[in-house]
Chains A and B, each alone.
Chain A
Amino acid sequence: MSVEPQPTLDNVFPRQEIAVDIACVGFGPAMGGFLTTLTNGFTTEAGSALQSTVSPGMPPQVICYERADDIGFGVSGVVTRARGIRKAFPDLDCSQIPMAVPVKHEKLLYLLDPLGASRRSRTLRLADLAIRALGRILPFEQHALELPYIPPFMRKHDGIVMSIGQFNQWIGSQLMSTGLVQIWPAMPVSEPLIERQAVVGIRLADQGVDKTGEPQAGFMPGMDVRAQLTVVGDGPVGAVGRAIDRKFGMPEGHSRNDWAVGMKMVIELPEPSSLDPGTVLHTFGFPEPEIFGFLYVHPDRLASVGIFVPSWLPNCSRTAYRYLQHYIQHPYLWRHLNGGTLRSWGAKSLQESGRRGEPLLAGDGFARIGEGSGSTNVLTGSGVDEAWTTGTLLAEGVLELLREGKPFTRGNLESAYVGRRRKSWIDRESQIAEDARNGFHHGVIAGLLGMALAGFSRGRFSFAHNPQLAGQQIGPPELFYERRLSPDQIAEIRNRAEINNMPFHDALMSASGWPEIQHDGQLLITHQDALLMGGKVQAPLGYADHVRFINPELCRQCIDKTCVSMCSGQAITRGGNAIPGFDREKCVYCGACLWNCPQANVEFHAGAGGLHSAEN
C-alpha cells in the first residue's frame, strides 16, 4: 500500500537557496573588524589571487546579514581604548566619525543617595554618613564623591568616546565601497543550518507570516544561505549563536549566568554647557548601589548617559527606565542635564560572564566572534575594542586558511583562529578579569573589593563563586523591600496594580520612597514616549513574534513576573489570565526577557525592526 506524501510547508512554498563562501550573521564592531581585515587581505597581492569556490573566477563571496533595519541602529554610546581599532586604522581621525572624540577628562564618582530611597547596606550607610561629615575636606559636591584615583585597569584616558551606531555606519560604508562584501540590514537570520555535526550555512527568517509564524498572504520562506564558513557575531542574545550553543553545548565549566541591561539616552545638552567633549564620568552607588552608570560627552553638545542594571541586583521590580530617570536627576548630573532634550534612547543586554561565558569559539564550518563569544572584559568594563579584535583575529586566520587551501574544519579554525586568540591581549586580560565580578554576589562592597583584588593582583586573587542562573539571582519584593514595606503592603500594591492594570514595579518603587517622575516633555518623558521620540521603534509587517512564552502554565503561576518589569520597551505586559502579553511593535530587542525569567520559560527568536535611531 502506498501512502500519499503529506504536503509540507517546504514543498508547497519552495525555499530558495544560494551558496556563498562566507556567511556572516550580525553587523556590529566584531563583524566590522572581521570584514575590514578580510577585505584588506583580499586586496593584497596574495589575497587578490584567492578565488571563490562557489563562483569560480570571482573573489571569495562574502555576505553579511543584520537583523536591524540599518547597520547604524546600534544602541550604545561607548568609551573605548580602541587599541584594536587603532591597529586597523593607524591614522584614525576621530573627526571623520560623527560623534567621536578623544577622551579628554575622566572621573570616577561615588554617587550618594540624595533621596534616601535606594537600598543601602549598613556599611554603606555608615560610609555615606562619614563622607557627608567630611565633605568639606573631601572632593565632595552635589552628593557625589570624586575618587582621587582610577585604577589603571579601568582607565580609558587614551581612548575615544563614540557612538556605536555612527561607528557602524562609518565602517559599513567603507566595506561596501570595496565591492568585496555585501551587507544586508533588515534581514534576520533565524537559525544555523546544521548537517552531520557541521554548520553548513544559515536560514533567513520567514516573511509574510502571522504572529505565530503561520503563512499569510505574501508568504516567503526564509532563504537558505549555504556557506563553507559561517561567522557568528549576532551578540549575546542572537538566535544563531544560542542555537549553536544548544546543539554543541558550552565548554566544560562555562556558563552564562551573569547579565546586565544597559539602558541609555543620548541627550542634547542645554546651552551653554560646561561639559567638554571627551569628558567621561564613571559612576556607582546610585540609583541602587549595584547599578553602575556613565556619562560620555560627544561633540556638538551631545552626551550619552546610561546605567547598567545587573542580574545580581536582587530586585524583581528592576525597571531600568525608572531607574535611569532617577539617575539622570542625581544632582551631580542634573546640573548639566536639566533643560536638555532627549535625542535618542535604547537598551541592550550585556553578557557579564566574560571569559566564563565563552562558548565553543569554532567548530566544523563556524566561528564565533564578538560579545557572544565571551570577549567582553568585565574588569575593565570594555567590550567594543575586544569584540573588534576578535573579528580581526578570525579574519587573519581565515585568510591564512584560504591561502593554504585548507577547509574550515574545527581543527583548522582552532589552529588559525582560536590559537591566535589565545595568544592575544584579549585572552590575557580576560583571564585576569575572569573572576573579578564574583564578589558582587556577596554584596556591593565585596564586589568592589573583588574587582580591586583581581585587578591589582592581575587575576591571581579573587572571590570564589558559582553564580546561579541570572533569573534565579532575583529575589522576591518582600525580601528586597523588607526594611521599607511590609508583606501586607506589598500584597496590597500587587492587588491594586492587577486590578487597575498598572505596572506593579512602578507602584512598588513609588511606595518604597522613590518620588514620582515629574515629566517635562523633552527629557523626562514617559517610557512610551521614549520609545517613540528616542528609540523610534519600528516593527515591519510580516514577521512572527520573536518573543514567546514556552509554557503558559508556568507564567500563570509566576507571581512576580520579572519579565514585565524588566522589559526595556514595555513590550511585555501582564496580559490576560496572568499570562504575559507581547507587543512586537514596542520591542527594542534588548533580550532581557530571555535571561530574567527564573524558569527559563522565554523563547527569543530572530526578528526584524526594533530601534530606529542612529544617534546611539
Chain B
Amino acid sequence: MSNLFHIVVCASVVPDPLQTLEPINGPTGPSLKNEMMLPAVLDPWAAHALYEAANLAAHYPGSKVWLVSLALKAKLQQVMMTISQKVPFELVPIDGPLGGFTDAHQVAAAIATAIEAIPGLDRSRLLLFGGWESASRGAGVTMQIVGERLGITEQFQGVDQISVNADGSFEIMERIEGGRHLVSTCTAPPAVLGWATGSLPEPRNNPQVGMANMRTVMPALQRAKPVQIATDSLRYVSVSLPKQQRETRIVKDMSPEEIAREIADWITAD
C-alpha cells in the first residue's frame, strides 16, 4: 500500500494575541470586547498542525491537505489572506459564530459533519490534525470529540513529531509529564493527532502558493454554509485573562550580570 495521506486540519480562528484582549459579559454570555474589530489568526497550535500536515503531504505524493475551520466568514477571509501564503491546502469553511466560549460538543459536531461531507475524502487514509487545544479555543476536548464522532479510535495529543515507516505505519511522539515524550506506533490511518508545537519553523510567505490557494479559497468561502451553534447550552461562572506579570523599572549602573541574575531569581521565585 502506498503511503498516501488525506490530512484534515481542524483549526480555530482566534484574535491576534498581540491585541488588547478584554473579556466582557454580554447579553449572550462571556465574550471579548470589540472582538470583531480585532485582526484574527489561526490559533498557534493549529497553525503548527497545518505546517506539519503540509510537510507530510509534500513528502508523500498524492497526499492532500484540507483545512476545516469554523468562524464567521469575514474573519475566515481575513485569516486566509495571511495563512494562504504559507502552504498549499483546500479550505473547508464553516460559517458560524466566532468565540472562545462556544460549546465544544456543538463545535465538534459541526466540524465532524463538514469533514464527512468532503468530496473525495478517503477515510481509510485520514489523518485528523489539529492543535491539541484547538478548534474551540482552549476547551481542550474538541479534537477528541471530532475523532469520536468520525469513529477514529487512535488518538494522540500533544504531538511533537510524526515519522512514517516504509510499511505505512507511523511513529508518533507525544508530550508527557516531565518534559519527556511517549513514542507510539500506529499501524495505519485513520488517527487523530492533536499537535503541540511540532518541530517545523513557520514557512516563508510564498506568493505562488497564495495565488494557487486563493483559486479554491474564495469560491469555498462563497459557498460556506452557515451553522447554528446554540449559545445557551453552557453557563460560565466567571471568566478572567491569564495573569500577566509585568514590571518595568529603569535601572542605571547595573551590570548585565546583575540584571541577568535578578531576572533569573524573579523567574525561579514562582
Contacts and interface: CB of A to CB of B under 8 A. Distances in A.
B168 to A, nearest CB: 30
**Chain B interface extent, by class:** 20 to 34
Contacts of B124: none
Interface in B14-69: 16, 18-20, 34, 36-39
10 shortest interchain CB distances as A-B pairs:
A98-B37, A536-B18, A179-B218, A207-B204, A70-B39, A612-B18, A220-B204, A223-B207, A614-B39, A176-B77
Interface in B189-230: 201, 204-208, 210-211, 214, 218-219, 221-222
Contacts of B78: 70, 169, 172-173, 176
Contacts of B38: 614
Nearest to A71: B81
Given A71-B81, A169-B78, A526-B248, A615 B207 contact: no
Contacts of A218: 201, 204
Given A179-B222, A207-B204, A220-B204, A18 B211 contact: yes
A186 B18 contact: no
Contact of B248 (A71, A223, A225, A525): A525
A185 B16 contact: no
A182 B211 contact: yes
A186 B77 contact: no
Interface string A575-616: 000000000000000000000000000000000000011110
19 contacts: A69-B82, A71-B81, A72-B39, A169-B37, A169-B39, A177-B222, A182-B211, A184-B205, A186-B82, A186-B85, A223-B207, A343-B20, A519-B248, A521-B248, A529-B248, A538-B18, A612-B16, A613-B20, A615-B37
B9 to A, nearest CB: 21
Contacts of A469: none
A16 B39 contact: no
Interface of A: 16, 18, 63, 65, 69-73, 98-99, 166, 169, 172-173, 176-177, 179, 182-187, 204, 207-208, 218, 220, 223, 225, 300, 343-344, 500, 519, 521, 525-526, 529, 536, 538, 542, 612-615
A204 B209 CA distance: 14
B36 A98 contact: yes
B254 interface: no
A63 to B, nearest CB: 8
Given A172-B81, A186-B205, 12 more contacts: A69-B82, A73-B39, A169-B39, A169-B78, A177-B221, A179-B222, A184-B81, A207-B205, A529-B248, A613-B19, A613-B20, A614-B16
Contacts of A18: 207-208, 211
A71 B77 CA distance: 12
A187 B209 CA distance: 13
Given A179-B219, A184-B210, A187-B205, A173 B39 contact: no
Interface string B89-131: 0000000000000000000000000000000000000000000
Interface in B217-258: 218-219, 221-222, 248, 250, 252
B81 A183 contact: yes
Nearest to B79: A70
Contacts of B208: 16, 18, 223
B176 interface: no
In this complex, which of A63, A184, A225 has the most chain B Cβ atoms within 10 angstroms of its Cβ? A184
Given A70-B39, A182-B210, A187-B85, A173 B77 contact: yes
A382 to B, nearest CB: 24
A176 B81 contact: yes
A53 B39 CA distance: 35
A147 B39 CA distance: 40
Given A169-B37, A614-B37, A185 B210 contact: no
B74 interface: yes
Contacts of A187: 85, 205, 207
Contacts, number: 98
Nearest to B40: A70
Most A C-beta atoms less than 10 A away, residue of B18, B74, B201, B252: B18
B250 A526 contact: yes
A221 to B, nearest CB: 11
A218 B205 CA distance: 11
Contact of A176 (B207, B218, B219): B218
B232 to A, nearest CB: 26
B205 A98 contact: no
A538 B82 CA distance: 15
Nearest to A178: B218
Which of A169, A176, A521, A542 lies at the interface centre, i.e. has the most chain B CB atoms within 10 A of its CB?
Answer: A176
B37 A177 contact: no
A98 B74 CA distance: 14
B196 to A, nearest CB: 21
B214 to A, nearest CB: 5
A537 B206 CA distance: 23
B102 to A, nearest CB: 22
Contacts of B221: 177
Given A16-B208, A179-B222, A173 B74 contact: yes
A173 B206 CA distance: 21
Contact of A185 (B82, B206, B252): B82
A334 B81 CA distance: 40
A344 B74 CA distance: 23
Looking at B73, B81, B218, which has the most chain A CB atoms within 10 Å of its CB? B81
Nearest to B253: A500
A580 B38 CA distance: 36
Contacts of B205: 184, 186-187, 207
Nearest to A519: B248
Contacts of B207: 16, 18, 65, 184, 187, 204, 223, 225
Contacts of A70: 16, 39, 78, 81-82
Contacts of A166: 37
A429 B219 CA distance: 43
Contacts of B77: 173, 176-177
A614 B204 contact: no
Contacts of B20: 343-344, 613, 615
Contacts of B34: 98, 300, 615
A526 B251 CA distance: 13
B221 to A, nearest CB: 8
B235 to A, nearest CB: 27
A80 to B, nearest CB: 19
Nearest to A206: B204
Nearest to A536: B18
A529 B38 CA distance: 21
B160 to A, nearest CB: 21
